[in-house]
Amino acid sequence: LTREGFSTVPDVTWGDVGGLDHLRRELNTYIIRPIKNPEIYKAFGANLETGFLLYGPPGCGKTLVAKAVANEAGANFIHIKGPELLQKYVGEAERAIRTVFQRARTSSPCILFFDEVDALTTKRGTEGGWVVERFLNQFLAELDGGERRNVYVIGATNRPDVIDSAFMRPGRFGNLVYVPLPNADERVSILKSIAKKKPLDPSVDLDAIAKKCEGFSGADLAGLMDRAIHVAVEEKFKPSEIDSSDCTLKMTHFEQAIHVAVEE
């Protein structure tokens, strides 16, 4: 496996994630706390083989949350992109999935994150479900794997409907959680987390911006921030004499950015 198969503790924290409070609580209960306090769970004989399937529209924080979980738990993080795993290993997919779990076990505690997991778990006989039966069985076997030993799996998908139900059992990707588009309050919370390290002028009203961004995903809001920055930078280069004294983002920059975004 190349780059994405490596394990590291990510630098994303809960502070970088806006909204998604319900999901945070679940992941804290079922993954972070068990990793941090194994003795308690052991004493009760709790079953620690938990896996989550996060589903919903793109760009709403599924990857971000998975990374934050690893960071908060002090665990390693392995990011597997479903389609890439298959492409890279045509004819070798079974070996690849075994290697992934082996690597996760040797870097435990570990969060094993499968992006676009539908590519690896598609129902047999579904259109596009060219994943061979043997691969599916191997993946299921790895998920059960006797004891996963401090390896927690999180899958992400925009297409939960095509996933073979065998993958949704407890101990596999058994906890299904919807990650929706953010509402207005959540958009404020996301904007706050995105704006944390940005030079905001007091004229910037994040509540008003959030109200105007109905239907935006977290990724759209991050894009809006980038565009506002671009507008502000452009302004600096317009006059013949560049004024570097007031490098802040103003409400007008966001308004222009929203204007462009809404027109697109």
Binding residues for ligand ATP, rule: CB under 6 A, are 17-20, 58-64, 115, 156, 158, 190, 193-194, 218-219, 222
Distance CA 244, CA 252 (A): 18
Which is nearer to ligand ATP, 48 or 257 (by Cβ)? Answer: 257
Contact 9, 76 (CB under 8 A): yes
Q: What angle do CA 19, 79, 173 make, to 5 degrees?
A: 70
Which is nearer to ligand ATP, 48 or 179 (by Cβ)? Answer: 179
Using CB positions, name the residue nearest to ligand ATP. Answer: 218
Considering the complex, what minimum distance in angstroms separates the CB of residue 220 from ligand ATP? 8
Considering the complex, what minimum distance in angstroms separates the CB of residue 194 from ligand ATP? 6
Considering the complex, what minimum distance in angstroms separates the CB of residue 29 from ligand ATP? 19
Which is nearer to ligand ATP, 55 or 108 (by Cβ)? Answer: 55
Considering the complex, what minimum distance in angstroms separates the CB of residue 146 from ligand ATP? 30
Contact 112, 104 (CB under 8 A): yes
Which is nearer to ligand ATP, 19 or 155 (by Cβ)? Answer: 19
Structure tokens at 1: 């496996």
DSSP codes joined into one string, 171-206:
TSS-EEEE-PPP-HHHHHHHHHHHHTTS-B-TT--H
Which residue bears the tokens 């709790």? 46
